A and B are shown apart, each in its own frame.
Chain A
């Protein structure tokens, strides 16, 4: 049954986009599998016109450390979601094999590697922040970090910047 509307049906793109919705994502893990959830959600939020801030802390620092960001690993150890015997994960070479497999699946899904993904997030208007304490712990300075990271800031600065935001801890 076809109904004809007298007034045109038009999606309300801009109404939802403002209203000050903000998203803050804290990336605290440095494994390949835990890097992606934050990146994908940040990218999705930006595509919806939502102001998005990512804070990299603790092991999440590996995602923005120039030395490690292109080389995150996936390990089967301690991850029962692989549905493989846990002992297998401890065999030499298993981590690099699992990492290789995961990278392949990610690429096949059309999802970029971590450095490219960060660039896409920045290009979409996202903000990247590095944690002061993590930088101090690892003896890293701004020049050791991905160029698009805006600054090394304290946790309280991040909380201030994301006043009123919805928050995801990953």
Chain B
């Protein structure tokens, strides 16, 4: 696994740049990751990211968009506004989690 340096943090990532170590993530790092992909974080963005972080250890996998909306309570429409075009992947990236593998 390669490591990469983002905002002064050295982190383990996969070939695409998704973090591979859950515990290496901090909010500060999330901020830096968001900046890398052009997302400016607001409280609403953080709400989604914090849900993904909380949900991952319970479920053992990254929440899909549907899960973020039905369980996390953030409507799908809003997720597309907050993380345009590829919300599920962008959220997973910022939250330092693997890409979601569920189909829906």
Contacts and interface: CB of A to CB of B under 8 A. Distances in A.
Given A2-B2, A5-B2, A112-B66, A11 B85 contact: no
Interface of B: 1-6, 10, 12-13, 15-18, 36-38, 64-67, 69, 75-77, 80, 84-90, 93, 102-104
Nearest to B93: A11
A120 B6 CA distance: 34
A83 B16 CA distance: 41
A44 B87 CA distance: 11
B104 A112 contact: yes
Contacts of A117: 104
Contacts of A110: 64, 66-67, 102, 104
Contacts of B75: 123
A16 to B, nearest CB: 8
Mostly, the A contact residues are loop
Contacts of B76: 120, 123-124
B104 A13 contact: no
A13 B17 CA distance: 11
A4 B1 CA distance: 9
Report the 5 A-B pairs with minimum CB-CB distance, sorted nearest first. Answer: A49-B85, A9-B17, A123-B76, A17-B85, A123-B77
A90 interface: no
A18 to B, nearest CB: 8
Contact of B16 (A11, A48, A120, A125): A11
Given A4-B3, A11-B37, A40-B103, 20 more contacts: A2-B2, A3-B3, A4-B4, A5-B3, A9-B15, A9-B17, A11-B16, A11-B17, A13-B37, A14-B85, A17-B85, A43-B103, A47-B86, A47-B88, A49-B84, A110-B66, A111-B104, A120-B76, A124-B65, A124-B77
